Structure 1
């Protein structure tokens, strides 16, 4: 097998997260993030060292990143990077797996921006910039929705007129697929299980949050839907609500569609209820100081997660493990404890000491269901998928 460098990219509206891998071994050469793109005081972090630099746009961010890789000898020349894998939020029904991106594919990713307006446009922008600056590298899109393509129609269809699905493809797509796939595969290894015969409930809990029901190694159901706004209460997103609230707001507050969309995506969730922050850590501190709305927002957050887990437990019949991952899932022993209290009815029991220490398996010996904390690594999934697609196309 050929050995070469793969760059895994996660583009945000004002950020660019990256990891450079030596593939196929999967060894990380370097990783970091460029934040506050568009500012004269952008933050460029690489290998835990941060410097403040002016970065006008994503093109400047990419140039700055590549210059740093050359300067610090992580690469000797740009053509060592033979593939760039990009996280793309929404693949619709058009993209069922990771794919090499050319003009036609890029156009489709941009069109799907209507379904993921906070994500697809900046994902597409990242692909464009790298295509221009690294024309010799193969660009690959790795879709958050791909893992969920195995969800059966009775779970992905909405109870709307079927003609709306036929004409507009209105259905559940699901997101965070690379994360759900990675942590469930990792958990199967930890538990010495055959992944293709395993059943997990994975909880990706961060500023964006979703839960996935995995049976025999395949996504059976997930909480996010047509867009990433559906499902759980999140940092700024409302999650599932009575749909008639939206026309009510439009009629009574004379709001436009864009204004309502802004409320449900940017002003709701933990931020909307607590009035403090979209960051769970800030809300928890506020709750500990006695802020009643912060306390309520945490109870709502925990309740909705628990309800999804219990509904998926009934769908699976047998659960090999419940997995917590992402920022809150990996680091908040408090959230895990509060959720698992609600799961006592299905035999979940935590080991308090292991939970506080964020150990891999945090359930007690007498727990009927294993509970695990598995750090996610979406970038590694991106790098692996990219390598699979490009290693036969590149002559080294």
Structure 2
């Protein structure tokens, strides 16, 4: 089945056209600066084909979708002859709130419920709706499917997703742990289960999705039983610009002393903390921090502190999740830093022998910027450690195919 996978931002539209019969990408690209000056599309034929860039104004996501279709059906740059060859469209959605527990076919009722998710992801939900409505306007007869980042975490037990605040407030505003990056955690945990070679129900895995946004999940028996991100993607470990979990009293203390409004405090915690904040505004990018550490420049002390905080927090999550699952078979690293930052993985896996984790430092140092699955654990490590490149788009394509085939 030809499935178009769409990931819409407020002014962007990423796309990949999958052939699900072979799990291959036929074409991919991104429309940028939608609705603002300087719009452009970057298109590739195949996974790693030659890059074609065109500057083109796109007033909205519907116009961007038209541009995408034009490229996909182009005699030279395209991979299909007609739009009708796209059999379904799968949309990535960051937050399903309390309304969505699994991927679903788009209906009028689903769209209305998606609008209700706005308070849970105010930056993302409007963009998802624009992308969805843009595709529906251009492809009104093509089935559309929503795949939620929060869905994989819906198997968490009550004791894991409940915050110990008053029940009336929690129920009134649907406040609970929802998690994020679920599509990625699902993909890499399923791949890890295959590598372990035993029944899924007997597996205990910690998956570490470490990018500029980062989350850790405990996956027992193939199901998520806990995850580090919470009510919002601000919770959990230190990130590029996000503070992660902090003493709640710090929030009110800073607001009172700095005179911040709630929105200003929210912006501060989301955009001015993490790596960026700990390094006195130097950088939110781990590549810059690792470079400062290697070159011993003026930012080295801050860089060491910021990267050490993240590694230490990941270690604590691995330890606590090992306790929650009463055991551990494997640790998986994925996403930008997880896949391409050997120094981070080395820090996380050092002094973890008590948990049976021992890394092959030489193999780990060589594992970056490649698309292969790599075992990083030493031969005498009781727990397997793997680098598994994530493929959220493939999971979206598979879910979309399964739902549409069942119609």
TM-score (norm 2): 0.91
Shift of the alpha carbon at 1:162? 1.6
- Mapped to 2, the partners of 1:277 and 1:349 lie a distance apart of 31
Q: Of residues 274, 287, 290 in structure 2, which corresponds to 1:284?
A: 290
Match of 1:236 in 2: 241
Match of 1:44 among 42, 45, 56: 42
Q: How many residues align?
A: 390
Is 1:64 the counterpart of 2:67 in the alignment? yes
Q: Is the 8 A contact 1:205 1:324 kept in 2?
A: yes
Structure 1 counterpart of 2:80:
75
Task: Answer yes or no: is 1:338 the counterpart of 2:343.
Answer: no
- Is contact 1:306-1:342 (8 Å) kept? no
Structure 2: state its 5+ residue gaps.
368-372
Range moving further from structure 2, 217-226 or 242-251:
242-251
**1:1-396 alignment runs, 5 A limit:** 4-37=1-34, 38-40=36-38, 42=40, 44-46=42-44, 47-56=49-58, 57-71=60-74, 72-274=77-279, 275-288=281-294, 289-290=296-297, 291=299, 292-358=301-367, 360-393=374-407
Asked if structure 1 preserves the Cα contact closer than 8 Å seen for 2:3 and 2:86, the reply is: yes
Over the aligned positions, Cα root-mean-square deviation in angstroms equals 1.7
Q: Quick one: distance in 2 between partners of 1:102 and 1:367? A: 49
3-state DSSP of counterpart to 1:40: coil
Residue 8 of structure 1 deviates from its aligned partner by: 0.9
Q: Could you tell me whether the CA contact under 8 Å between 2:31 and 2:39 is conserved in 1?
A: no
Q: 1:210 to 1:129 in 2, by over 3 A?
A: same
SS at match of 1:353: helix
Distance 2:71 2:111 in 1: 27
Matches of 1:197 and 1:224, distance apart in 2: 25
**Normalising by structure 1, what TM-score?**
0.94
